[in-house]
Amino acid sequence: MKIPFWKDPNDSVEVLEATKEAADKYGHMFGSDLIRLEPDHVEALQAGKMLAWHDSEYSTFVMLAVPQPGECETVKTEPQQS
């Protein structure tokens, strides 16, 4: 997957303890969200599916790093025209 132009290619996803203290120590930047995955979400990811949601302003897409046949190689980062 190509990363968005503003993302440092050396950045990584951090694994933290599932506590408020760990989230606060990591930092919230300009804002933050907590996303809880249910077992069926994890199963869908393992089956090669992609999770998606939006907050009425931004869309978020999540997929496993393991390449799947025909998977999305890039995610459009420009806003869609209405």
Q: Which residues contact 32 (CB under 8 A, 6 or more apart)?
A: 23
Mean pLDDT of 7-21: 79
Show the tokens assigned to 59. 């869309």
Separation CA 54–CA 78 (nearest Å): 15
- pTM here? 0.61
Q: The domain containing residue 8 runs over which residues?
A: 1-82
What tens digit of pLDDT does each residue of 25-78 get? Answer: 998 888 888 889 999 999 999 998 999 998 888 888 888 876 656 666 655 555
Q: How confident is the model at residue 19 (pLDDT cuts 50, 70, 90)?
A: very high
Total domains in the chain come to 1
Q: What is the pLDDT of residue 10?
A: 61
C-alpha to C-alpha distances, 3 to 19, 40, 50, nearest whole angstrom: 28, 26, 16
Q: What is the pLDDT of residue 71?
A: 61
